[in-house]
């Protein structure tokens, strides 16, 4: 009915324009003279306009909402449409895929093609203390820590997304740069949305292993992941996956890909072993959990929103370079003392592991209500079936861990306070210890949007097993980290 009203209205406009133009042209040569009576053609058009207007009025009485324009599958930017954002943002149609594109600006849209351009940028200061420190790994080796104290235009993303041929054929192309690591790359995906219950995609995504990999970036409490999440998660690789909402609020995803992380690797380095992952998440109370499953309750749920889920991933990982090079190209898998699994001498003196099975599992639960957010996630990861160039003291290494994080808004949609703790329990039988952290932070939103924020965070770290220029942590650190950042998403 909506389409019929729009079609009739379009015909009315066409007919009205024709009548006005015709009348104007006929009147020009008659200025100063009495107006001529309407022609038969003009009378017919006026009668058609009256009939069409009558049909529109009758249809709108039957359905008052018929006169409005239906929402599109992809959202328009409020900056372009002039309409305010709703209190509770709708779930994106691509929920579950790697998507940090925001709503973006609509550049062009027809029934056969559409293009939105979006972006994300983050400026950050970080200070890891104390400035001079060392740590001792599980083999008794003393390692020097190199803490940071710097400002960075930390990362930026420029997204081009939309559909081609049909609104069901989706695409996204992203230019991604991290100044802290001097990395710049392109990634994206192409997918076909057959039905809400079944969609097929191919491109860059994650095998799984953590809830934060399900498209929620950058809607986290801090700008980066907590320590346990960073330790147990996989990276990003080229994959094919299917997902969908099989029942209201119940989503699934199954993935097959090249490995745990393909960043920095060429196709020539990859092996014939493929990685697989599976996950599901259930939102029983409200059938949603905020935009892209966001952390924090900026949307201020009036009804309790809940989410329960699990993720799993397995991969036969390779070090991706020769054993005579002590530094592996595979830097994704770390041990609980922050040393690299595939580094020479990290599991046994002078021994290099070339291949290993990696299996991970996580279970998570979260709740939102009136600006309050609480989430916890448990992790387990096993490393086994080692292929090495010498004897190893263990056949398997199993690590476990968890995080709990929560926040609330003392000033609604303006000021958020949050806290978190995470713990990693290294395999004691393999000689590893326990690491943990405590976090306190705040987010200030200067405008009526969660897309622009000032973040300040303080972390107390005890023996970080994570080491990355990308996140908050340096391997082996025992001390305080201070960070401040401002980010924009559009």
Query: Residue 271 has what DSSP assignment?
Result: -
- Dihedral sign of CA atoms 337, 341, 343, 349 in order: positive
pLDDT recorded at residue 376: 98
Under 8 Å between Cβ of 28 and 22: no
- In the structure encoding, which two tokens stand for residue 231, read together? 């330790």
Contact assessment for residue 234 and residue 228, using Cβ atoms and an 8 Å cutoff = no
- The pLDDT profile of the chain, 490 residues, written as one tens digit per residue, is 544 444 544 454 444 444 433 444 333 333 333 445 666 666 666 666 676 666 666 655 555 444 433 333 333 332 222 223 333 333 344 454 444 446 788 899 999 999 999 999 999 999 999 999 999 999 999 999 999 999 999 999 999 999 999 999 999 999 999 888 888 889 999 999 999 899 999 999 999 999 999 889 899 999 999 999 999 999 999 999 999 999 999 999 999 999 999 988 889 999 999 999 999 999 999 999 988 899 999 999 999 999 999 999 999 999 998 767 788 989 999 999 999 999 999 999 999 999 999 999 999 999 999 999 999 999 999 999 999 999 999 999 999 999 999 999 999 999 999 999 999 999 999 999 999 999 999 999 999 999 999 999 999 999 999 998 889 999 999 999 999 999 999 9
User: How many residues does this entry show for the chain?
Assistant: 490
Q: Which residues contact 428 (CB under 8 A, 6 or more apart)?
A: none
According to the model, what pLDDT value does residue 363 have? 98
- Start-to-end C-alpha separation, the chain: 34
463: Cβ contacts below 8 Å, ≥ 6 apart: 135, 337, 433, 434, 435, 476, 477, 478
In this prediction, residue 79 carries a pLDDT of 28
pLDDT of residue 57: 64
* Separation CA 302–CA 80 (nearest Å): 28
From residue 481, give the alpha-carbon distance in Å to each of 29, 128, 462, 478: 82, 4, 11, 10
Beta bridge partners of 308: 282, 365
Q: Are 265 and 363 in contact (CB under 8 A)?
A: no
β-bridge mates for residue 123, sequence order? 153, 486
Look up residue 323 and give its DSSP letter. Answer: T
DSSP state of 38: P
* Longest CA pairwise span in the chain (Å): 109
Q: How far apart are CA 331 and CA 246, in angstroms?
A: 36
Q: What's the CA gap between 409 and 364, in Å, rounded?
A: 23
CA dihedral of residues 69, 72, 78, 83 (deg, nearest 10): 20
Query: How many C-beta atoms surround the C-beta of residue 355 within 10 A?
Result: 16
Question: Which region holds residue 264: left if phi is over 0, alpha if psi is between -120 and 50, else beta?
Answer: left
CA 280, CA 241: separation in Å to the nearest integer? 13
Q: Give CA–CA dist 327/341, Å, rounded.
A: 10
**Topology (CATH level 3) of domain 117-489:** Porin (2.40.160)
């Amino acid at each position: 009915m909506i389409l019929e009203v729009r079609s009739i209205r379009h015909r009315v406009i066409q007919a009205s324009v024709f009548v006005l133009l015709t009348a104007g042209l006929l009147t020009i040569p008659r200025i100063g003279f009495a107006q001529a009576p309407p022609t038969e053609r003009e009378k017919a058009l006026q009668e058609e306009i009256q009939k069409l207007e009558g049909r529109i009025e009758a249809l709108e009485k039957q359905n008052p909402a018929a006169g409005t324009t239906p929402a599109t599958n992809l959202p328009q930017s409020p900056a372009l449409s002039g309409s305010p954002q709703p209190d509770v943002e709708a779930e994106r149609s691509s929920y579950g895929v790697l998507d940090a594109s925001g709503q973006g600006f609509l550049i062009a849209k027809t029934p056969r093609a559409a293009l939105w351009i979006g972006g994300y940028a983050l400026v950050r200061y970080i200070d890891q203390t104390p400035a001079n420190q060392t740590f001792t790994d599980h083999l008794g080796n003393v390692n020097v820590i190199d803490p940071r104290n710097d400002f960075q235009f930390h990362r930026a993303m420029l997204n081009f997304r939309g559909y081609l041929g049909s609104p069901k054929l989706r695409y996204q192309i992203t230019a991604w740069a991290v100044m802290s690591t001097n990395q710049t790359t392109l990634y994206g995906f192409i997918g076909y949305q057959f039905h809400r219950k079944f969609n097929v995609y191919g491109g860059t995504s994650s095998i799984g292993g953590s809830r934060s990999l399900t498209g929620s970036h950058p809607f986290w409490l801090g700008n980066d992941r907590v320590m346990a999440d960073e330790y147990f998660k996989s990276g990003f690789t080229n994959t094919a996956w299917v997902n969908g909402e099989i029942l209201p609020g119940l989503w699934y995803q199954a993935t097959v890909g090249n490995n745990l992380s393909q960043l920095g690797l060429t196709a020539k380095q990859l092996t014939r072993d493929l990685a697989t992952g599976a996950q599901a998440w259930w939102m029983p109370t409200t059938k949603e959990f905020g935009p892209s499953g966001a952390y924090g309750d900026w949307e201020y749920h009036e009804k309790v929103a809940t989410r329960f889920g699990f993720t799993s991933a397995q991969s036969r990982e390779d070090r991706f370079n020769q054993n005579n090079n002590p530094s592996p190209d595979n830097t994704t898998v770390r041990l609980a003392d922050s040393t690299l699994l595939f580094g020479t001498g990290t599991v046994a003196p002078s021994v290099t592991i070339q291949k290993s099975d990696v299996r991970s599992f996580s279970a998570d639960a979260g709740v939102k209500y009136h600006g309050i957010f609480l989430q916890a996630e448990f992790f387990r990861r096993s490393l086994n079936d080692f292929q090495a160039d010498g004897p190893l003291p263990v056949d398997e290494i199993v690590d476990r861990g968890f995080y709990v994080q929560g926040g609330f808004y003392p000033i609604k949609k303006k000021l958020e306070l949050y806290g978190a703790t995470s713990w990693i329990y290294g395999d004691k039988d393999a000689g590893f210890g326990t690491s943990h952290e405590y976090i306190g932070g705040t987010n200030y939103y200067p405008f009526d949007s969660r897309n622009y924020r000032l973040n300040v965070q303080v972390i107390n770290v005890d023996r970080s097993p994570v080491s990355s220029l990308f996140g908050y942590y340096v391997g082996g650190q025992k001390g305080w980290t201070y960070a401040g950042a401002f980010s924009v998403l559009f």
